[in-house]
Amino acid sequence: MPHKAFWLRCETKKFERRAALTPATSKALIDAGFTIKVERDEQRIFDDSEYEAVGCELVENNSWPHAPTYIPIIGLKELEESDEALPHSHIQFAHCYKQQAGWSGVLSRFYRGNGKLYDIEFLTDETGRRVAAFGFHAGFAGAAAGALALAASSKGEKLGHLEPYKNEKEMVDSVKSLLGGSGKGVKALVIGALGRCGRGAVDLFRKIGLEEDDILKWDLPETAKGGPFPEILDVDIFVNCIYLNSQIPSFITQETIRDAGKNRRLSVVVDVSCDTTNPFNPIPIYNINTTFPEPTVPVEVGAGNPPMSVISIDHLPTLLPREASEQFSADLLPSLLEFPDSRVWGDAEKLFREKLAEAVKVEGL
Ligand SMILES: NC(=O)c1ccc[n+]([C@@H]2O[C@H](COP(=O)([O-])OP(=O)(O)OC[C@H]3O[C@@H](n4cnc5c(N)ncnc54)[C@H](O)[C@@H]3O)[C@@H](O)[C@H]2O)c1
């Protein structure tokens, strides 16, 4: 019988406080007979002691390269750049299957070490839907950032540095208080409202006190007629949460904004989908991704018109590391309990082998 174990590595990306395994999912795995090793990590939102309390074995920070090769290494983000061969199985988001910069070099490390990659982005159920994704909290945090930008702009200010919140309650309370106690009276439109991100955005707006009628929820039927949509100009915050997979008419354009002149209500656009550099981006009014230190980018609105900004942060769930990790890890748990003997992992390994073969060709190995 194979050894049932996982090794939770630390995340080395700056500001990344999320974790692929939480104390709760670690406990469920331990109860099912797994050994869980956890690298000590100050940056992670969960304390080392929370893992220790449920029976995990704590190991040195960033010590996974020396782990026994039979233990799969689990993490979220890309490994640090290096030429070292990778002999372990890695479960993570690797961002190297869509020919991203450096993709074949990353895969060649697995080839040279005879390791395996199970990319979490491609773990899917029978219907092709991802088994675990961070969407809900991306939408939730994006809507919160939008409300904060609205609060700042109503005082003639620009939204300042965003910091991760300890938990959801702290985020909701802070947004409400900056809006003067409640979001009542604010009007928002969420497009892609039936998806993961969209449901998160709607949830945040409800929790900060918007009236139900002031949360417009659009999905495919409402946009079928084709944009641009003047309705977007008549809300305070527009949150785009669609999954873009084909060319569609723009939802809003620089011209529609300029033409609305002083009558425009729209103050903030949050582009959770962040198809910033996609030639079919349905929100062609900005062209950079914004960041936690600089969360907004101004939109060219025409002289004398009220200001407007876009938030296009592509790692929004990091603003809510605890809840985002808890939901993601709970969704991943049923698959982890079956590792590596189920269709999910079999398909993921097959995809890895296909991508590896492409990389081997490109790298001339
Ligand atoms: N910014 C971030 O930090 C962050 C984090 C996670 C996900 N995302 C991105 O958010 C996007 C949505 O992800 P998701 O997990 O919510 O996807 P999802 O598939 O769960 O939901 C997408 C929704 O958009 C709807 N939709 C698609 N095309 C539409 C259109 N033309 N008009 C109206 N509705 C349309 C779909 O019907 C669906 O309800 C993806 O592009 C994803 O990469 C961003």
Tens digits of per-residue pLDDT, 46-93? 999 999 999 999 999 999 999 999 999 999 999 999 999 999 999 999
Closest protein CA for atom 11 of ligand 1: 273
* pLDDT of amino acid 14: 80
Residue 119 clears pLDDT 60, i.e. is over it: yes
Task: Give the 3-state secondary structure of residue 14.
Answer: coil
Q: DSSP secondary-structure letter at 81?
A: P
The C-alpha atoms of residue 78 and residue 96 are separated, in whole angstroms, by: 9
Please say whether the beta carbons of 318 and 15 come within 8 A.
yes
Protein residues with CB under 6 Å of any ligand 1 atom: 133-135, 138, 191-192, 194-198, 218-220, 223, 241-243, 248, 272-274, 313-317
Does the pLDDT of residue 1 top 50, yes or no? no
Mark whether 14 is an active-site residue. no
Task: Report whether pLDDT(201) > 70.
Answer: yes
Cα(121) to centroid(ligand 1), Å: 14
Condensed to tens digits (0 to 9), the pLDDT of residues 245-256 reads 889 999 999 999
Q: How far apart (Å, rounded) are the C-alpha atoms in residues 364 and 358?
A: 10
Q: Which helix (H) or strand (E) holds 310?
A: strand 309-311
Read off the amino acid at residue 63: S
Beta strands 309-311 and 297-298 are antiparallel
* Residues whose CB falls within 8 Å of the CB of residue 287, separated by 6 or more in sequence, listed in order: 276, 277
In the predicted structure, residue 293 carries a pLDDT above the cut 90: yes
Phi, psi of 91 (to 5 degrees): -110, 115
- Residue among 95, 197, 229, 244 to mutate when testing ligand 1 (max atoms within 8 A of CB): 197
Q: Is the pLDDT of residue 18 over 90?
A: yes
From residue 354, alpha-carbon distances to 16, 107, 347 in Å are 30, 11, 11
365 is in an annotated binding site: no
* Residue 243 labeled ligand binder: yes
Task: Render pLDDT for 202-225 as a digit per residue (tens, 0 to 9).
Answer: 999 999 999 999 999 999 999 999
Domains defined along the chain, listed by start: 5-122+320-363 (3.40.50.720), 135-319 (3.40.50.720)
Residue 206, pLDDT score: 98
Q: Packing angle between helix 135-154 and helix 168-178, nearest 10 degrees?
A: 20
What CA–CA distances, in Å, run from 26 to 99, 228, 273? 33, 47, 31
Q: What is the C-alpha to C-alpha distance for residues 95 and 43, in angstroms, rounded to an integer?
A: 22
**Confidence (pLDDT) at 3:** 75
316 annotated as a binding-site residue:
yes
On whether 195 is known to bind a ligand per the annotation, the reply is: yes
Ligand 1 center–CA 305 separation, angstroms: 31
The span from the CA of 215 to the CA of 116, in Å, is 45
Nearest to 207 by CA among 223, 227, 183, 231: 183
Burial class for 299, CB neighbours closer than 10 Å (0-12, 13-18, 19+) = buried
Residue 13's pLDDT band (boundaries 50, 70, 90)?
Answer: confident
Report CA(52)–ligand 1 centroid distance (Å). Answer: 37
pTM over 0.85: yes
Q: How far is the CA of 241 from the centre of ligand 1 (A)?
A: 5
In the annotation, is 161 catalytic?
Answer: no
- Of 4, 27, 66, 77, the catalytic one is 77
pLDDT at 2: 55
| Cis peptide preceding 340, ω within 30 of 0 | yes
Known binding residue 223? Answer is yes
Name the catalytic one among 13, 95, 184, 350.
Answer: 95
Check residue 277 and give its pLDDT.
Answer: 82
Model pLDDT for residues 226-236, shown as the tens digit of each residue? 999 999 999 99
Annotated ligand binding at 129? The verdict is yes
Give whole-number Cα distances, 196 to 84, 139, 200, 201, in Å. 37, 8, 6, 9
| Rounded CA separation 286/137 (Å) | 23
Cβ pair 285, 257 in contact under 8 A: yes
Mutate to test the pocket of ligand 1, among 231, 239, 241 (most ligand atoms within 8 A of CB): 241
Mean per-residue pLDDT, 309-334: 96
Give me ligand 1 centre to Cα 194, in Å: 9
What atom in ligand 1 is closest to the CA of residue 198?
Answer: 16
- Contact by Cβ (8 Å): 105, 78: no
**In this model, does residue 364 exceed pLDDT 80?**
yes
Average pLDDT for 135-152: 98
Q: What is the mean pLDDT of residues 336-358?
A: 97
Q: In ligand 1, which atom is closest to the CA atom of 244? A: 28
E strand spans, 24-131: 35-39, 57-59, 73-74, 89-92, 116-119
